[in-house]
Structure 1
Amino acid sequence: MVIDTTRLLLASLPQYQFNLEFAQSPSIARLLKKLPNSCAPNRIKTPERLKDNIYSSPLNIALNLRLYYKKRDASSILPTNALDNNKRLKSLAALFTGKSTYTLGIDAGRSLGMFLDKQIATLPPHNLVIRSGGEATTSLVKMLLKERIDYIVDYPVSVNKALKHSSTAWPLASVAIAGSPGYIVGYVACHKGPLGQQVINDINQSLQKLYLSYPFYQAHTRYLASKDLVNFNQAYQAVFQVQIPLKNDH
């Protein structure tokens, strides 16, 4: 989704010559702070990042961050009383009661939104496996399938895409996390300066047109499960303030 929507956005800005480089999240943060002509797609707004970056209108919507784990005997991997009456995980801390040796895999520097970032910050270090490198979701899913870690938190659309490219058919189970937002919004972040502001202004103009195009909508829904479409469509209309584009809308 991120690559697809970013390509559509870049194609709508022919007045700029972009050089694309893939970088890890901590490196992106440093580059955005240092380089006047730097921008990065799909960045979540946090108070810390707002000090050094300016943000576009919304670029991406990702539904329902969930906790994923490899399907075994559910009682052996989810601690007793970890779920509330609605079968949602009470909190990430509920996974690591007593002297738990289970581990949550996370990507270095990646934000999962303020609600979950705060929870992760309180977890004991021995219950976290922090990885760095590209293809975050794909790598974490592989680690989960190989039982190098016990849990990950990610978006269904990202996990589904990673599983489609996986050589194993071993299923993953997931649970919703109580209190977690129904969706997370990603933005284009640019260096806070005159050039960055000019680029953001042009990006925002292009985004208003893209919101109305079916290819942009399809880029979001391509790996989405059909059962999630109703919730996604509601989020699309609420975040982008438009009606759902039709197939013949370009």
Structure 2
Amino acid sequence: IIAGLFYCHSGHAVEVTWLKTDWPPHQITSGVYQEQGTFDLLQKQIVTLLPQITHQVQIVNLQRMEQAFLQTSKNVCSFGSIFTDKRAVSRWYSKSVAVLPGLAVHFRSGTELDQHPALQANGSVDVRKLAQDIQLTGAYQPNRFYPPSVLDATTYANFIPHEFTSQVNAAALLVSKRVDYVIEYPERMTFYLQQNNSAKTIQTLAVADASPYVESFITCNKSPEAPQIIEWINAALVAVWQTAEYKQA
């Protein structure tokens, strides 16, 4: 009934473009596991429960995704966004979709990083101190939300921005010894390392000032129709939570 009232009031069918980026193991846009990521499977369930919406999918990189949320002429939504005050200016957030491990530093075992001064007493790593070591090269993916220590580290020339893709990802950079350490989420590194059986050679430690866990949400831009779209998405999420498929995803 609500969907019908909204359709009549607006005078046109509601259209949503779902923005996706290559983000294994949650969104996988190519390869043998294409469309089999955790958010890929959840999105299929959500879309099925929203027949009042015309759904389209567009694959973009992180930079274009951030830009797309700044416009309000068409409805765009995406899975897997972390809440920040800056993003909340241009986005509506759904109910929480997932709770995931926080950001981490990954490096090869048996290197000088095992005893580096950047290692803290609690087992975490001060990324700022790592970047100050000109003998080391680190990598991070730009256009993400990062804690202050990582943002400070980006001002150093030996801490380089790199677009992580399925082909050239954080794990591949480490294993090939192109860099000494990378900043990446643990579940992403685990997925990539399993692809080349290198998990035992990589050590993972938390970023010192990063939250140990992050909540992930569906977000939509602040178009005129977005508040209603978010309401529908929240209702669909509640329905999906009751299914066995959601627990498996």
Q: Which category describes the TM-score, using the shorter chain as reference length? A: 0.7 to 0.9
CA distance, structure 1, for counterparts of residue 164 and residue 194 of structure 2: 21
Q: Which residue in 1 is equivalent to 2:117? A: 81
CA distance, structure 1, for counterparts of residue 88 and residue 96 of structure 2: 15
- Is the Cα contact below 8 Å between 1:57 and 1:204 reproduced in 2? yes
Structure 2: gaps of 5 or more residues: 1-37
Which structure: greater helix fraction?
A: 1
CA distance, structure 1, for counterparts of residue 114 and residue 248 of structure 2: 35
Letter in 2 for 1:155: Y
Q: Measured at CA, do residues 135 and 49 of structure 1 come closer, stay the same or move farther in structure 2, by a change above 3 Å?
A: farther
CA distance, structure 1, for counterparts of residue 128 and residue 161 of structure 2: 17
State the superposition RMSD in angstroms: 2.3
- Secondary structure of 1:17's counterpart equals strand
Matches within 5 A, 1:38-49: 38-49=76-87
Answering whether residue 159 of structure 2 is matched by residue 128 of structure 1, we say yes
Letter in 1 for 2:85: P
Structure 1: gaps of 5 or more residues: 220-250
- Is the Cα contact below 8 Å between 1:38 and 1:190 reproduced in 2? yes
Q: Which residue in 1 is equivalent to 2:170? A: 140
- Of all paired residues, the percent bearing the same amino acid is 19
Q: Measured at CA, do residues 165 and 15 of structure 1 come closer, stay the same or move farther in structure 2, by a change above 3 Å?
A: farther
- Secondary structure of 1:85's counterpart equals coil
- Is the Cα contact below 8 Å between 1:36 and 1:192 reproduced in 2? no
**Higher Cα Rg, which structure:** 2
Which structure: greater strand fraction?
A: 2
Match of residue 96, structure 1, among 127, 131, 135: 131
CA drift of 1:202 comes to: 0.4
Give the stretch that moved more between structures: 2-11 or 42-51. Answer: 2-11
Q: Which residue in 2 is equivalent to 1:20? A: 57
Q: Under a length normalisation based on structure 1, what TM-score does the superposition of the two structures give?
A: 0.74
Match of residue 10, structure 1, among 47, 52, 58: 47
CA distance, structure 2, for counterparts of residue 72 and residue 171 of structure 1: 8
Letter in 1 for 2:211: P
CA distance, structure 2, for counterparts of residue 152 and residue 16 of structure 1: 40
- Is the Cα contact below 8 Å between 1:26 and 1:109 reproduced in 2? yes
- Secondary structure of 1:18's counterpart equals strand
- Secondary structure of 2:135's counterpart equals coil
- Secondary structure of 2:171's counterpart equals helix
CA distance, structure 1, for counterparts of residue 123 and residue 156 of structure 2: 27
CA distance, structure 1, for counterparts of residue 101 and residue 85 of structure 2: 22
- Matched residue pairs, number? 210
- Is the Cα contact below 8 Å between 2:170 and 2:184 reproduced in 1? no
- Is the Cα contact below 8 Å between 1:63 and 1:156 reproduced in 2? yes
CA distance, structure 2, for counterparts of residue 82 and residue 133 of structure 1: 24
- Secondary structure of 2:57's counterpart equals coil
- Secondary structure of 2:53's counterpart equals coil
CA distance, structure 2, for counterparts of residue 135 and residue 187 of structure 1: 23
- Secondary structure of 1:5's counterpart equals helix
- Secondary structure of 1:209's counterpart equals helix
- Secondary structure of 1:83's counterpart equals coil
Answering whether residue 193 of structure 2 is matched by residue 163 of structure 1, we say yes
Q: Under a length normalisation based on structure 2, what TM-score does the superposition of the two structures give?
A: 0.75
- Secondary structure of 2:55's counterpart equals coil
CA distance, structure 2, for counterparts of residue 157 and residue 82 of structure 1: 23
Letter in 2 for 1:127: N
Q: Measured at CA, do residues 127 and 4 of structure 1 come closer, stay the same or move farther in structure 2, by a change above 3 Å?
A: farther
